[in-house]
Chain A
Protein backbone atom coordinates (compact mmCIF):
# COMPACT_ATOMS: atom_id res chain seq x y z
CA UNK A 1 0.00 0.00 0.00
CA UNK A 2 2.96 2.22 0.76
CA UNK A 3 4.09 1.83 -2.85
CA UNK A 4 0.64 2.67 -4.23
CA UNK A 5 0.71 5.92 -2.31
CA UNK A 6 4.25 6.66 -3.53
CA UNK A 7 3.05 6.23 -7.09
CA UNK A 8 -0.02 8.40 -6.43
CA UNK A 9 2.23 11.18 -5.18
CA UNK A 10 4.45 10.91 -8.25
CA UNK A 11 1.46 11.08 -10.57
CA UNK A 12 0.03 14.08 -8.75
CA UNK A 13 3.37 15.80 -8.98
CA UNK A 14 3.52 15.10 -12.71
CA UNK A 15 0.09 16.78 -13.05
CA UNK A 16 1.23 19.85 -11.13
CA UNK A 17 4.78 20.06 -12.49
CA UNK A 18 3.35 20.67 -15.93
CA UNK A 19 0.54 23.02 -16.91
CA UNK A 20 -2.10 20.25 -17.20
CA UNK A 21 -3.58 20.44 -13.71
CA UNK A 22 -3.64 24.24 -13.60
CA UNK A 23 -5.28 24.57 -17.00
CA UNK A 24 -7.91 21.98 -16.12
CA UNK A 25 -8.66 23.52 -12.73
CA UNK A 26 -8.84 27.08 -14.05
CA UNK A 27 -11.02 26.27 -17.03
CA UNK A 28 -13.26 24.08 -14.87
CA UNK A 29 -13.73 26.92 -12.40
CA UNK A 30 -14.24 29.48 -15.14
CA UNK A 31 -16.97 27.49 -16.88
CA UNK A 32 -18.82 26.45 -13.73
CA UNK A 33 -18.40 29.97 -12.35
CA UNK A 34 -19.92 31.50 -15.44
CA UNK A 35 -22.94 29.20 -15.28
CA UNK A 36 -23.32 29.79 -11.55
CA UNK A 37 -23.17 33.57 -11.69
CA UNK A 38 -25.27 33.66 -14.83
CA UNK A 39 -28.05 31.88 -12.97
CA UNK A 40 -27.54 33.93 -9.84
CA UNK A 41 -27.37 37.42 -11.28
CA UNK A 42 -29.26 37.25 -14.55
CA UNK A 43 -31.99 34.78 -13.69
CA UNK A 44 -32.10 35.37 -9.93
CA UNK A 45 -31.81 31.66 -9.26
CA UNK A 46 -29.72 30.94 -6.18
CA UNK A 47 -28.96 27.30 -6.86
CA UNK A 48 -26.09 24.95 -7.53
CA UNK A 49 -28.19 23.15 -10.11
CA UNK A 50 -26.55 25.08 -12.95
CA UNK A 51 -23.10 24.06 -11.73
CA UNK A 52 -24.10 20.43 -11.37
CA UNK A 53 -25.69 20.39 -14.83
CA UNK A 54 -22.64 21.68 -16.65
CA UNK A 55 -19.97 19.77 -14.69
CA UNK A 56 -20.67 16.35 -16.28
CA UNK A 57 -20.16 17.93 -19.70
CA UNK A 58 -16.82 19.36 -18.64
CA UNK A 59 -15.74 16.02 -17.19
CA UNK A 60 -16.64 14.38 -20.48
CA UNK A 61 -13.67 16.14 -22.09
CA UNK A 62 -11.38 16.88 -19.19
CA UNK A 63 -11.19 13.50 -17.53
CA UNK A 64 -10.03 11.55 -20.61
CA UNK A 65 -7.60 14.41 -21.28
CA UNK A 66 -6.12 13.93 -17.83
CA UNK A 67 -5.92 10.15 -18.08
CA UNK A 68 -4.81 9.80 -21.70
CA UNK A 69 -1.14 9.80 -20.79
CA UNK A 70 -1.38 7.48 -17.76
CA UNK A 71 -0.33 4.24 -19.47
CA UNK A 72 0.03 5.25 -23.12
CA UNK A 73 2.91 7.60 -22.37
CA UNK A 74 4.61 5.06 -20.08
CA UNK A 75 4.39 2.52 -22.87
CA UNK A 76 5.72 4.91 -25.48
CA UNK A 77 8.63 6.00 -23.30
CA UNK A 78 9.29 2.44 -22.12
CA UNK A 79 9.01 3.39 -18.44
CA UNK A 80 6.16 0.90 -18.10
CA UNK A 81 8.79 -1.83 -18.23
CA UNK A 82 10.56 -0.33 -15.22
CA UNK A 83 7.33 0.27 -13.37
CA UNK A 84 6.03 -3.26 -13.85
CA UNK A 85 9.32 -4.93 -12.90
CA UNK A 86 9.33 -3.20 -9.52
CA UNK A 87 8.21 -5.41 -6.65
CA UNK A 88 4.60 -4.26 -6.92
CA UNK A 89 1.49 -5.89 -8.35
CA UNK A 90 -0.04 -4.52 -11.52
CA UNK A 91 -3.23 -3.60 -9.68
CA UNK A 92 -1.27 -1.46 -7.24
CA UNK A 93 0.10 0.51 -10.18
CA UNK A 94 -3.38 1.03 -11.62
CA UNK A 95 -4.76 1.95 -8.21
CA UNK A 96 -1.99 4.50 -7.73
CA UNK A 97 -2.88 6.18 -11.00
CA UNK A 98 -6.64 6.12 -10.34
CA UNK A 99 -6.09 7.50 -6.85
CA UNK A 100 -4.10 10.46 -8.15
CA UNK A 101 -6.92 11.29 -10.56
CA UNK A 102 -9.47 10.92 -7.75
CA UNK A 103 -7.51 13.42 -5.63
CA UNK A 104 -7.30 15.86 -8.50
CA UNK A 105 -11.08 15.55 -9.01
CA UNK A 106 -11.66 16.10 -5.30
CA UNK A 107 -9.61 19.28 -5.53
CA UNK A 108 -11.54 20.50 -8.59
CA UNK A 109 -14.86 19.72 -6.96
CA UNK A 110 -13.94 21.20 -3.59
CA UNK A 111 -12.98 24.47 -5.29
CA UNK A 112 -16.62 24.85 -6.30
CA UNK A 113 -17.48 24.95 -2.59
CA UNK A 114 -16.96 28.69 -3.03
CA UNK A 115 -20.33 28.77 -4.79
CA UNK A 116 -21.99 26.72 -2.08
CA UNK A 117 -20.61 28.95 0.65
CA UNK A 118 -21.75 32.10 -1.10
CA UNK A 119 -25.20 30.59 -1.50
CA UNK A 120 -25.27 29.72 2.19
CA UNK A 121 -24.96 33.45 2.92
CA UNK A 122 -27.98 34.21 0.77
CA UNK A 123 -30.29 31.71 2.37
CA UNK A 124 -30.90 28.08 3.14
CA UNK A 125 -29.34 25.64 0.75
CA UNK A 126 -30.84 22.32 -0.26
CA UNK A 127 -28.56 20.09 1.80
CA UNK A 128 -29.62 16.77 0.26
CA UNK A 129 -29.25 18.01 -3.29
CA UNK A 130 -25.89 19.59 -2.57
CA UNK A 131 -24.39 16.56 -0.85
CA UNK A 132 -25.90 14.28 -3.47
CA UNK A 133 -24.64 16.48 -6.27
CA UNK A 134 -21.11 16.61 -4.93
CA UNK A 135 -20.98 12.89 -4.25
CA UNK A 136 -22.49 12.14 -7.66
CA UNK A 137 -20.04 14.42 -9.39
CA UNK A 138 -17.10 12.73 -7.69
CA UNK A 139 -18.36 9.22 -8.51
CA UNK A 140 -19.07 10.26 -12.09
CA UNK A 141 -15.55 11.65 -12.46
CA UNK A 142 -14.03 8.56 -10.86
CA UNK A 143 -15.89 6.31 -13.27
CA UNK A 144 -14.82 8.40 -16.24
CA UNK A 145 -11.27 8.30 -14.90
CA UNK A 146 -11.20 4.50 -14.59
CA UNK A 147 -12.49 4.23 -18.16
CA UNK A 148 -9.94 6.78 -19.36
CA UNK A 149 -7.11 4.84 -17.71
CA UNK A 150 -8.34 1.63 -19.32
CA UNK A 151 -8.38 3.34 -22.73
CA UNK A 152 -4.87 4.60 -22.08
CA UNK A 153 -3.66 1.07 -21.31
CA UNK A 154 -4.80 -0.12 -24.73
CA UNK A 155 -2.46 2.01 -26.82
CA UNK A 156 0.87 3.76 -26.82
CA UNK A 157 -0.58 6.82 -28.54
CA UNK A 158 -2.02 9.49 -26.25
CA UNK A 159 -4.35 10.89 -28.87
CA UNK A 160 -5.81 7.47 -29.58
CA UNK A 161 -6.17 6.99 -25.82
CA UNK A 162 -8.07 10.27 -25.52
CA UNK A 163 -10.43 9.58 -28.43
CA UNK A 164 -11.05 6.03 -27.24
CA UNK A 165 -11.70 7.11 -23.66
CA UNK A 166 -13.92 9.96 -24.78
CA UNK A 167 -15.89 7.67 -27.12
CA UNK A 168 -16.64 5.13 -24.39
CA UNK A 169 -17.59 7.82 -21.89
CA UNK A 170 -19.69 9.71 -24.42
CA UNK A 171 -21.57 6.53 -25.25
CA UNK A 172 -22.35 5.98 -21.57
CA UNK A 173 -23.39 9.60 -21.32
CA UNK A 174 -25.75 9.30 -24.28
CA UNK A 175 -27.38 6.00 -23.30
CA UNK A 176 -30.15 7.51 -21.19
CA UNK A 177 -30.74 10.27 -23.74
CA UNK A 178 -31.82 7.95 -26.55
CA UNK A 179 -34.54 6.12 -24.63
CA UNK A 180 -37.20 7.85 -26.77
CA UNK A 181 -36.00 6.05 -29.86
CA UNK A 182 -36.13 2.49 -28.56
CA UNK A 183 -38.91 0.26 -27.19
CA UNK A 184 -39.68 1.09 -23.60
CA UNK A 185 -38.42 -2.26 -22.29
CA UNK A 186 -34.97 -1.64 -23.70
CA UNK A 187 -35.29 2.00 -22.78
CA UNK A 188 -35.42 1.16 -19.07
CA UNK A 189 -32.24 -0.89 -19.38
CA UNK A 190 -30.50 1.83 -21.36
CA UNK A 191 -31.57 4.38 -18.81
CA UNK A 192 -30.11 2.34 -16.00
CA UNK A 193 -26.83 1.96 -17.92
CA UNK A 194 -26.58 5.66 -18.65
CA UNK A 195 -24.00 7.51 -16.58
CA UNK A 196 -25.88 10.78 -16.49
CA UNK A 197 -29.17 9.25 -15.34
CA UNK A 198 -27.67 8.21 -12.01
CA UNK A 199 -26.09 11.59 -11.55
CA UNK A 200 -29.46 13.29 -12.13
CA UNK A 201 -30.89 11.07 -9.39
CA UNK A 202 -28.20 12.01 -6.93
CA UNK A 203 -28.42 15.67 -7.81
CA UNK A 204 -32.06 15.63 -6.77
CA UNK A 205 -30.91 14.69 -3.29
CA UNK A 206 -31.85 11.05 -3.50
CA UNK A 207 -28.82 9.12 -2.38
CA UNK A 208 -29.71 5.64 -3.48
CA UNK A 209 -27.29 2.72 -3.08
CA UNK A 210 -28.20 1.60 -6.62
CA UNK A 211 -26.72 4.78 -8.06
CA UNK A 212 -23.58 4.50 -5.96
CA UNK A 213 -23.33 0.81 -6.85
CA UNK A 214 -23.66 1.66 -10.54
CA UNK A 215 -20.65 3.97 -10.48
CA UNK A 216 -18.57 1.72 -8.30
CA UNK A 217 -19.23 -1.38 -10.39
CA UNK A 218 -18.44 0.48 -13.61
CA UNK A 219 -15.21 1.74 -12.04
CA UNK A 220 -14.41 -1.80 -10.92
CA UNK A 221 -15.12 -3.17 -14.39
CA UNK A 222 -12.83 -0.64 -16.08
CA UNK A 223 -10.18 -1.37 -13.43
CA UNK A 224 -10.41 -5.09 -14.14
CA UNK A 225 -10.17 -4.52 -17.89
CA UNK A 226 -7.04 -2.44 -17.28
CA UNK A 227 -5.42 -5.30 -15.34
CA UNK A 228 -6.19 -7.65 -18.26
CA UNK A 229 -4.78 -5.18 -20.71
CA UNK A 230 -1.56 -4.79 -18.69
CA UNK A 231 -1.22 -8.54 -18.11
CA UNK A 232 -0.77 -9.01 -21.85
CA UNK A 233 2.32 -6.78 -21.76
CA UNK A 234 2.09 -5.62 -25.35
CA UNK A 235 5.19 -4.19 -26.96
Chain B
Protein backbone atom coordinates (compact mmCIF):
# COMPACT_ATOMS: atom_id res chain seq x y z
CA UNK B 1 0.00 0.00 0.00
CA UNK B 2 2.77 2.41 0.95
CA UNK B 3 6.22 1.96 -0.47
CA UNK B 4 9.03 4.20 0.68
CA UNK B 5 12.03 4.02 -1.61
CA UNK B 6 15.53 5.23 -0.73
CA UNK B 7 14.26 8.37 0.88
CA UNK B 8 16.88 11.01 1.69
CA UNK B 9 16.36 14.50 3.02
CA UNK B 10 18.76 17.06 4.37
CA UNK B 11 18.25 20.48 5.89
CA UNK B 12 21.28 22.50 4.85
CA UNK B 13 24.16 20.18 5.64
CA UNK B 14 22.29 18.22 8.27
CA UNK B 15 21.18 14.88 6.91
CA UNK B 16 17.83 14.18 8.55
CA UNK B 17 16.94 11.04 6.62
CA UNK B 18 19.44 8.80 4.85
CA UNK B 19 18.20 6.38 2.25
CA UNK B 20 15.29 4.86 4.14
CA UNK B 21 13.22 2.15 2.44
CA UNK B 22 10.28 0.15 3.76
CA UNK B 23 6.83 -1.06 2.82
CA UNK B 24 3.56 -0.93 4.68
CA UNK B 25 0.80 -3.30 3.65
CA UNK B 26 -2.91 -2.65 3.84
CA UNK B 27 -4.43 -2.79 7.30
CA UNK B 28 -1.14 -2.75 9.15
CA UNK B 29 -0.51 -0.55 12.17
CA UNK B 30 3.12 0.43 11.99
CA UNK B 31 4.96 2.15 14.80
CA UNK B 32 7.79 4.49 13.99
CA UNK B 33 10.25 4.43 16.82
CA UNK B 34 13.38 6.44 17.39
CA UNK B 35 15.04 8.93 19.67
CA UNK B 36 14.13 12.60 19.29
CA UNK B 37 15.62 14.03 16.13
CA UNK B 38 16.06 10.63 14.51
CA UNK B 39 14.15 11.60 11.38
CA UNK B 40 10.70 10.22 12.21
CA UNK B 41 8.83 13.46 11.60
CA UNK B 42 10.80 14.26 8.48
CA UNK B 43 9.96 10.86 6.99
CA UNK B 44 6.29 11.36 7.80
CA UNK B 45 6.28 14.87 6.37
CA UNK B 46 7.63 13.46 3.13
CA UNK B 47 5.07 10.64 3.14
CA UNK B 48 2.23 13.14 3.42
CA UNK B 49 3.61 15.23 0.58
CA UNK B 50 4.46 18.22 2.73
CA UNK B 51 8.22 18.11 2.30
CA UNK B 52 9.84 17.30 -1.02
CA UNK B 53 12.57 14.64 -0.60
CA UNK B 54 16.10 15.24 -1.90
CA UNK B 55 16.27 11.70 -3.19
CA UNK B 56 13.98 8.73 -3.46
CA UNK B 57 10.21 8.82 -3.41
CA UNK B 58 7.08 7.36 -1.87
CA UNK B 59 4.47 5.33 -3.72
CA UNK B 60 0.96 5.06 -2.38
CA UNK B 61 -1.06 2.38 -4.18
CA UNK B 62 1.48 2.57 -6.98
CA UNK B 63 1.11 6.34 -7.36
CA UNK B 64 4.17 8.54 -6.94
CA UNK B 65 3.68 11.15 -4.24
CA UNK B 66 5.62 13.69 -6.29
CA UNK B 67 3.86 13.19 -9.60
CA UNK B 68 0.33 12.37 -8.46
CA UNK B 69 0.40 14.59 -5.39
CA UNK B 70 -3.29 15.42 -5.18
CA UNK B 71 -4.78 11.91 -5.68
CA UNK B 72 -2.28 10.57 -3.14
CA UNK B 73 -3.16 13.25 -0.60
CA UNK B 74 -6.82 12.25 -0.88
CA UNK B 75 -5.85 8.79 0.36
CA UNK B 76 -4.07 10.09 3.43
CA UNK B 77 -5.22 11.57 6.71
CA UNK B 78 -2.50 13.38 8.62
CA UNK B 79 -2.06 14.52 12.18
CA UNK B 80 1.16 16.54 12.45
CA UNK B 81 3.27 16.72 15.57
CA UNK B 82 1.80 18.87 18.38
CA UNK B 83 -1.62 18.93 16.66
CA UNK B 84 -1.79 22.30 14.93
CA UNK B 85 -5.38 23.54 14.61
CA UNK B 86 -6.99 26.90 13.88
CA UNK B 87 -7.46 27.92 17.48
CA UNK B 88 -9.82 30.79 16.64
CA UNK B 89 -12.39 28.44 15.12
CA UNK B 90 -15.25 26.53 16.70
CA UNK B 91 -14.76 22.75 16.52
CA UNK B 92 -17.78 22.17 14.28
CA UNK B 93 -16.82 24.96 11.87
CA UNK B 94 -13.28 23.67 11.74
CA UNK B 95 -14.38 20.15 10.83
CA UNK B 96 -16.76 21.60 8.28
CA UNK B 97 -13.90 23.65 6.81
CA UNK B 98 -11.61 20.61 6.52
CA UNK B 99 -14.45 18.58 5.00
CA UNK B 100 -15.04 21.27 2.40
CA UNK B 101 -11.32 21.56 1.65
CA UNK B 102 -11.28 17.77 1.24
CA UNK B 103 -13.93 18.13 -1.43
CA UNK B 104 -16.72 16.39 0.49
CA UNK B 105 -20.00 17.61 -1.06
CA UNK B 106 -21.95 19.90 1.28
CA UNK B 107 -24.91 17.50 1.63
CA UNK B 108 -22.61 14.80 3.07
CA UNK B 109 -20.63 17.01 5.43
CA UNK B 110 -23.05 16.98 8.34
CA UNK B 111 -23.18 13.21 8.18
CA UNK B 112 -19.36 12.90 8.13
CA UNK B 113 -19.00 15.33 11.01
CA UNK B 114 -21.58 13.33 12.97
CA UNK B 115 -19.65 10.12 12.29
CA UNK B 116 -16.41 11.76 13.50
CA UNK B 117 -18.18 13.17 16.56
CA UNK B 118 -19.24 9.66 17.48
CA UNK B 119 -15.98 7.88 16.81
CA UNK B 120 -13.78 10.53 18.44
CA UNK B 121 -16.17 11.44 21.27
CA UNK B 122 -16.54 15.13 20.42
CA UNK B 123 -20.17 15.61 21.50
CA UNK B 124 -19.36 18.05 24.29
CA UNK B 125 -16.94 20.24 22.40
CA UNK B 126 -18.59 20.72 19.00
CA UNK B 127 -19.69 24.25 19.83
CA UNK B 128 -16.56 25.27 21.71
CA UNK B 129 -13.70 27.28 20.34
CA UNK B 130 -10.62 25.14 19.77
CA UNK B 131 -8.39 27.31 21.97
CA UNK B 132 -10.69 26.49 24.89
CA UNK B 133 -10.18 22.73 24.54
CA UNK B 134 -7.96 20.55 26.71
CA UNK B 135 -4.98 18.84 25.14
CA UNK B 136 -6.84 15.54 25.01
CA UNK B 137 -9.77 17.02 23.14
CA UNK B 138 -7.47 18.91 20.79
CA UNK B 139 -5.91 15.57 19.96
CA UNK B 140 -9.35 14.10 19.28
CA UNK B 141 -10.24 17.02 17.02
CA UNK B 142 -6.90 16.45 15.27
CA UNK B 143 -7.79 12.80 14.72
CA UNK B 144 -11.27 13.75 13.56
CA UNK B 145 -9.93 16.16 10.93
CA UNK B 146 -7.49 13.50 9.76
CA UNK B 147 -10.28 10.95 9.27
CA UNK B 148 -13.09 13.15 8.04
CA UNK B 149 -12.69 12.04 4.41
CA UNK B 150 -12.51 8.38 5.46
CA UNK B 151 -8.95 7.87 4.20
CA UNK B 152 -7.52 4.35 3.89
CA UNK B 153 -4.21 5.60 5.30
CA UNK B 154 -3.59 7.55 8.49
CA UNK B 155 -0.26 9.12 9.36
CA UNK B 156 -0.07 10.24 12.99
CA UNK B 157 2.99 12.05 14.31
CA UNK B 158 3.28 11.49 18.05
CA UNK B 159 -0.45 11.26 18.68
CA UNK B 160 -0.10 10.82 22.44
CA UNK B 161 2.66 13.25 23.32
CA UNK B 162 1.77 15.78 26.00
CA UNK B 163 -1.28 13.89 27.23
CA UNK B 164 -1.93 12.72 30.75
CA UNK B 165 -2.03 8.94 31.43
CA UNK B 166 -5.83 8.73 31.15
CA UNK B 167 -5.87 10.61 27.88
CA UNK B 168 -3.05 8.44 26.55
CA UNK B 169 -5.11 5.33 27.20
CA UNK B 170 -8.16 6.91 25.55
CA UNK B 171 -6.29 7.99 22.44
CA UNK B 172 -4.59 4.60 22.25
CA UNK B 173 -7.96 2.86 22.36
CA UNK B 174 -9.18 5.18 19.65
CA UNK B 175 -6.18 4.41 17.45
CA UNK B 176 -6.69 0.71 18.02
CA UNK B 177 -10.29 1.05 16.89
CA UNK B 178 -9.25 3.07 13.86
CA UNK B 179 -6.48 0.61 13.04
CA UNK B 180 -8.91 -2.25 12.56
CA UNK B 181 -10.01 -0.96 9.20
CA UNK B 182 -7.18 1.30 8.12
CA UNK B 183 -3.49 1.40 7.49
CA UNK B 184 -1.92 3.45 10.25
CA UNK B 185 1.62 4.76 10.54
CA UNK B 186 2.29 6.40 13.89
CA UNK B 187 5.46 7.76 15.41
CA UNK B 188 6.36 7.78 19.04
CA UNK B 189 9.24 7.59 21.41
CA UNK B 190 7.17 5.88 24.06
CA UNK B 191 7.96 2.19 23.81
CA UNK B 192 4.95 0.82 25.62
CA UNK B 193 2.79 2.55 23.07
CA UNK B 194 4.24 0.50 20.25
CA UNK B 195 3.80 -2.68 22.24
CA UNK B 196 0.22 -1.70 22.97
CA UNK B 197 -0.95 -0.75 19.53
CA UNK B 198 1.36 -1.75 16.69
CA UNK B 199 1.60 -4.82 14.48
CA UNK B 200 5.00 -3.81 13.29
CA UNK B 201 7.83 -1.63 14.48
CA UNK B 202 10.29 0.37 12.43
CA UNK B 203 13.18 1.79 14.40
CA UNK B 204 15.00 4.80 13.01
CA UNK B 205 18.17 6.22 14.42
CA UNK B 206 20.20 9.09 13.11
CA UNK B 207 18.27 9.12 9.85
CA UNK B 208 18.77 5.45 9.03
CA UNK B 209 16.51 2.47 9.43
CA UNK B 210 18.02 0.15 12.04
CA UNK B 211 15.25 -2.39 12.59
CA UNK B 212 12.01 -3.48 10.98
CA UNK B 213 9.75 -6.27 12.24
CA UNK B 214 7.03 -7.31 14.66
CA UNK B 215 7.69 -6.51 18.32
CA UNK B 216 8.26 -10.26 18.96
CA UNK B 217 10.75 -10.57 16.11
CA UNK B 218 12.71 -7.64 17.39
CA UNK B 219 12.79 -9.01 20.92
CA UNK B 220 13.92 -12.44 19.82
CA UNK B 221 16.58 -11.01 17.57
CA UNK B 222 18.25 -9.45 20.54
CA UNK B 223 21.70 -10.74 21.40
CA UNK B 224 22.14 -12.60 24.70
CA UNK B 225 19.76 -15.25 25.97
CA UNK B 226 17.09 -15.30 28.61
CA UNK B 227 17.72 -14.43 32.19
CA UNK B 228 16.15 -16.13 35.15
CA UNK B 229 16.24 -14.84 38.66
CA UNK B 230 15.86 -17.41 41.45
CA UNK B 231 15.52 -16.92 45.19
CA UNK B 232 15.92 -19.76 47.69
CA UNK B 233 15.96 -20.30 51.42
CA UNK B 234 19.16 -22.32 51.29
CA UNK B 235 22.70 -21.15 51.85
CA UNK B 236 24.53 -19.56 48.98
CA UNK B 237 27.46 -22.04 49.03
CA UNK B 238 25.21 -25.08 48.96
CA UNK B 239 23.33 -23.92 45.89
CA UNK B 240 26.33 -22.41 44.12
CA UNK B 241 28.11 -25.74 44.24
CA UNK B 242 25.32 -27.47 42.33
CA UNK B 243 24.42 -24.63 39.95
CA UNK B 244 28.08 -23.96 39.13
CA UNK B 245 28.33 -27.37 37.51
CA UNK B 246 24.80 -27.39 36.02
CA UNK B 247 25.03 -27.62 32.23
CA UNK B 248 21.64 -26.01 31.40
CA UNK B 249 22.51 -22.49 32.48
CA UNK B 250 25.30 -20.22 33.57
CA UNK B 251 25.33 -18.30 36.80
CA UNK B 252 25.79 -14.62 36.01
CA UNK B 253 25.33 -13.27 39.52
CA UNK B 254 24.57 -14.50 43.00
CA UNK B 255 24.43 -13.24 46.57
CA UNK B 256 21.98 -12.20 49.26
CA UNK B 257 19.11 -9.87 48.49
CA UNK B 258 17.68 -7.19 50.80
CA UNK B 259 15.49 -9.78 52.59
CA UNK B 260 18.50 -11.93 53.39
CA UNK B 261 17.48 -14.60 50.90
CA UNK B 262 19.92 -16.24 48.52
CA UNK B 263 19.44 -15.20 44.95
CA UNK B 264 20.91 -16.38 41.70
CA UNK B 265 20.68 -14.91 38.26
CA UNK B 266 21.04 -17.51 35.54
CA UNK B 267 21.49 -17.04 31.82
CA UNK B 268 20.43 -19.66 29.33
CA UNK B 269 19.54 -20.09 25.69
CA UNK B 270 15.94 -21.09 26.32
CA UNK B 271 13.26 -21.38 28.98
CA UNK B 272 14.69 -23.51 31.82
CA UNK B 273 12.17 -22.79 34.57
CA UNK B 274 10.80 -26.34 34.58
CA UNK B 275 14.28 -27.87 34.65
CA UNK B 276 15.33 -25.59 37.45
CA UNK B 277 12.24 -26.53 39.45
CA UNK B 278 13.05 -30.25 39.09
CA UNK B 279 16.64 -29.57 40.04
CA UNK B 280 15.50 -27.78 43.19
CA UNK B 281 13.17 -30.64 44.08
CA UNK B 282 15.89 -33.25 43.59
CA UNK B 283 18.19 -31.33 45.95
CA UNK B 284 15.41 -30.55 48.41
CA UNK B 285 15.84 -26.77 48.08
CA UNK B 286 13.14 -24.41 49.23
CA UNK B 287 12.38 -22.30 46.19
CA UNK B 288 10.73 -18.98 47.08
CA UNK B 289 10.97 -17.12 43.82
CA UNK B 290 11.36 -17.89 40.16
CA UNK B 291 11.14 -14.99 37.80
CA UNK B 292 11.91 -14.72 34.12
CA UNK B 293 13.46 -11.40 33.11
CA UNK B 294 12.10 -11.18 29.60
CA UNK B 295 13.69 -8.76 27.20
CA UNK B 296 11.40 -5.99 26.09
CA UNK B 297 11.38 -3.45 23.31
CA UNK B 298 13.17 -1.07 25.58
CA UNK B 299 16.23 -3.30 25.49
CA UNK B 300 15.93 -3.59 21.72
CA UNK B 301 15.62 0.15 21.42
CA UNK B 302 18.60 0.85 23.65
CA UNK B 303 20.78 -1.73 21.99
CA UNK B 304 20.01 -0.40 18.51
CA UNK B 305 20.06 3.31 19.10
CA UNK B 306 22.77 3.89 21.66
CA UNK B 307 26.32 4.70 20.71
Contacts and interface: CB of A to CB of B under 8 A. Distances in A.
Q: Interface of chain A, helix or strand or loop or mixed? A: helix
A81 B97 contact: no
Contacts, number: 66
Interface in A1-41: 2-3, 6-7, 10, 13-14, 17-18
A177 interface: no
B88 A14 contact: yes
A84 interface: yes
A82 B84 contact: yes
B144 to A, nearest CB: 13
Q: How big is chain B's contact interface, by range?
A: 20 to 34
A85 interface: yes
Interface stretch (B45-53, B190-198, B251-259): B45-53
B73 A77 contact: no
Interface stretch (B30-38, B75-83, B180-188): B75-83
A235 B11 contact: yes
Interface residues of A, number: 24
Given A10-B97, A85-B49, A77 B87 contact: yes
Nearest to A89: B70
Contacts of A117: none
28 contacts: A2-B100, A2-B103, A3-B101, A3-B103, A7-B101, A14-B88, A78-B81, A78-B82, A78-B84, A79-B84, A80-B84, A81-B45, A81-B50, A81-B80, A81-B84, A82-B84, A82-B145, A85-B49, A85-B50, A85-B76, A85-B78, A86-B102, A87-B74, A87-B103, A88-B70, A89-B70, A231-B52, A235-B11
Given A14-B88, A87-B101, A88-B70, 6 more contacts: A77-B84, A77-B87, A81-B50, A85-B73, A86-B102, A88-B101
